[in-house]
Amino acid sequence: MSENNKNTTSEKDKNQDAEKNSVRPEPVISIAASDRENTEIDIPVKAKKLRRERRKKTMNTIALSNIILMGALLAGGFSYMTLLPHETKADDENRMLTKFPKLTAKSYASGQYTEGIADYFDDTVHNRANIKEFIADNLMPLKGRKYGDGDDGAELYGSSAKKNKSMSVTTTAKPFISEVTTATTAVQETTEPATEEPAPAEGELTNNILIVNKRGITLYGGGWGTELEYASYLNAYKEKLGNVNVYSMVLPTSSSFYLPDNYKDLAHSEKEDFDSIDGALQNVMSVDAYSALMAHKDEAIYSRTDHHWQPLGAYYAAEKFALTAGVPFADLSEYETVTLPGYVGTLYMYTQSATLLNNPEDFVYYKPKAPVTVTQYDTHFQNPVVANLLLDPSSMPNSGYYMVFGSDERIVHVNTECKNGRTLVIFKDSYGNALLPMLTSSFENIYLCDIRYFELNAIDFINQVGATDLLFSMCSFSAVGVNRNSIYNNLIR
C-alpha cells in the first residue's frame, strides 16, 4: 500500500473517533397543542403534584380524627370506670365482687397491690350485669366454629374429650396400699375410634360445656384409671371399719342422659367408669344411681342452667340408696314442694351463654314435714350451733337457689324421728347436699361432711359418732378427679 493511501485511512479513522467521542445534543420533540389529546408523552406534572398534596392532607385529617376518637374513648372509659359508683355484689353469679386492695409495703413490692387494683376495676365496673348481657347476646356468639344458621345452627367453643378408637392407652392406677396387701394392678384402657366432628344439633360448646336444646351439659372426660383409685380408697375404709356398712354411690351428670347422639363422641361414658368401679369394690356395696335416674330422665331431674342435679334427681337416688341399705323411705307426698322460678345457675356463669340467660327454669325442692333437729359444726367438728335443715331462699339471687341446702364448709348433724338405731355418715361433694332432706325418714342420725373440706381423721370421726353406715356420694367428676385424693388424705390424717 502506498504512503498516501495509509495517510488517508489514518485521517478517516481519526475523524470517525472524533465523531464517536463528541456529545450529541438531545433530540427535541415538539408536539402541537392540538395533538396532545392523542399522545401519552406529555405529563401533567402540576396536576399530579396537586393530587399528592390533597391525598396527604386527607391522610393527616384521618389520622387526627383517629387520635381524637381514641382519646375520647379512653377519656370516656376512664371516667366511666373511676367516677361512676362501683358495684359490690353480683347477684347473677352469687358472689361478692373484688374489693379495693389494701396498700402495704409488701403488697406494693410484690406487685400484688397494682394487680389487685386492676382486678378491682375489672370486676366492679358500673352496670356490669347489663354489660355482661350485651357481651353474651352480641359478642360471644361471634366466637367458635359455627354450623348452620338461625335456630338450627350449632356453635362449638373450646375443646372436648373426644374418644379415639385407634389409640390404645395403658394406665397404671395408683390404688391405696393397705397394711395387708402391697399389690398394685396395671389396668389397660382402650379408647374408641375417633369419629368425624359432630353434625349440627342446635348447640354450642364452651369450656367443655355443651349448650344444646336450651340445656347446658358438662362433658365428662373419663377416669382413665383414676376410677380404680377411688375404688381402692373405699376398700381401705371398709377394711379399717369392719362391721360398718360402706356404700359407694357415684352420681352421673346430665351428660349421661341428655347428650345428643351426634355429640356422643365429645364425652366419655360415665356408665363404663361406674362399671369399672363396681368391679373393683371389695365388700363395699354399690348403689346404682345411674339406672334409677335413667328411669326418670324425662322428668326434671337435672338443671338445664346449672351443673348440679335438681332435688327431684336427688330424691330418686336417695330412694335407691335406702332400698340398698334396707331402711324406710318417705314418699314424695310427705314433703312440702317449693318452686322458685327464674333460676339461671352456674352454667351461665361459666359460659355467659345468651341461650341459658334467656331461658331460665324453675328450681323445685322439697321440705320434709316431719320435724328434725339440726346442729351445725365447723370442719373440725367444733363450735356447734343450732341451724335449719334448709335455708330461706327469699334473700338469695336467682343464680344461687341451690344454696337452700347450705354451704359445703361445715359438718351437719341431723337427728330425726326415725328411731331405728341407724347412724349414717355421708362423705360428699356439692351434689350430696341435696340428699340430706331426702334421708330424714331413713336414719335416726345423719352426719353430712364434705370430703373436700373435712379436717379430721375420717376413721376416728366415724367411730366417734357411732356410725353404722358410711355413704360416699359424689358426682363422677369428683370420684375420678382431684377430689378423690381427699378421700385418701382424710383416711391417713
The tens digit of pLDDT for each residue in 379-428 reads 999 999 999 999 999 989 888 889 999 999 999 999 999 999 999 999 99
Q: Cell numbers 359432630 correspond to what residue? A: 198
User: How far apart are the C-alpha atoms of 306 and 329, rounded to whole Å?
Assistant: 27
Asked if pLDDT for residue 20 goes beyond 80, the answer is no
Nearest to 475 by CA among 295, 255, 261, 285: 255
Predicted local confidence at residue 197, as pLDDT: 42
On whether the CB atoms of residues 381 and 453 are closer than 8 A, the answer is no
Cell of 403: 344454696
Residue 385, strand partner residues: 376
Cell of 309: 342435679
User: How far apart are the C-alpha atoms of 270 and 188, rounded to whole Å?
Assistant: 17
User: How far apart are the C-alpha atoms of 123 and 125, rounded to whole Å?
Assistant: 6
Residue 211, strand partner residues: 204, 216
Cell of 321: 340408696
On whether the CB atoms of residues 467 and 425 are closer than 8 A, the answer is yes
User: How far apart are the C-alpha atoms of 127 and 70, rounded to whole Å?
Assistant: 23
User: How far apart are the C-alpha atoms of 490 and 136, rounded to whole Å?
Assistant: 41
Q: How many CA atoms lie within 13 A of 484 on its CB side?
A: 25
Nearest to 305 by CA among 351, 267, 241: 351
Nearest to 402 by CA among 373, 365, 374, 437: 365
Cell of 418: 326415725
The pLDDT > 70 percentage for the chain reads 74
- 218, containing H or E segment: strand 215-218
∠ CA 280-282-283, nearest 5°, is 145
Going by their DSSP bridges, the two strands 423-428 and 469-475 should be labelled as parallel
Predicted local confidence at residue 144, as pLDDT: 46
Using the CB atoms, write b or e for 382-401: b if 16+ within 10 Å.
eeeeebebbeebeebbbbbb
Q: Does residue 209 sit in helix, strand or coil?
A: strand
Alpha helices in 84-111 (DSSP H): 105-110
DSSP secondary-structure letter at 86? Answer: P
Q: By mean pLDDT, which of 12-26, 114-128, 247-261 is the weakest?
A: 12-26
User: How far apart are the C-alpha atoms of 332 and 81, rounded to whole Å?
Assistant: 51
More confident residue, 75 or 48: 75
Give the other-Cβ count within 10 Å of 27's Cβ: 5
Non-local (6+) Cβ contacts of 306 within 8 A are 216, 343, 345, 346, 347, 402
What values do phi and psi take at 297, rounded to 5?
-65, -20
pTM: 0.69
On whether the CB atoms of residues 371 and 226 are closer than 8 A, the answer is no
DSSP secondary-structure letter at 255? Answer: H
Going by their DSSP bridges, the two strands 411-415 and 445-450 should be labelled as antiparallel
DSSP secondary-structure letter at 401? Answer: G
DSSP secondary-structure letter at 400? Answer: -
On whether the CB atoms of residues 287 and 321 are closer than 8 A, the answer is yes
pLDDT average, residue stretch 253-271: 93
* pLDDT confidence bin for 142, thresholds 50/70/90: low
pLDDT average, residue stretch 307-312: 97
pLDDT average, residue stretch 253-265: 92
Span 444-474, pLDDT tens digits: 999 999 999 999 999 999 999 999 999 999 9
pLDDT average, residue stretch 327-338: 97
On whether the CB atoms of residues 413 and 374 are closer than 8 A, the answer is yes
Predicted local confidence at residue 154, as pLDDT: 43
* pLDDT confidence bin for 107, thresholds 50/70/90: confident
User: How far apart are the C-alpha atoms of 321 and 434, rounded to whole Å?
Assistant: 14
Residue 250, strand partner residues: 474
More confident residue, 299 or 105: 299
The dihedral built from the CA positions of residue 445, 450, 454 and 458, taken in this order, carries a sign that is positive
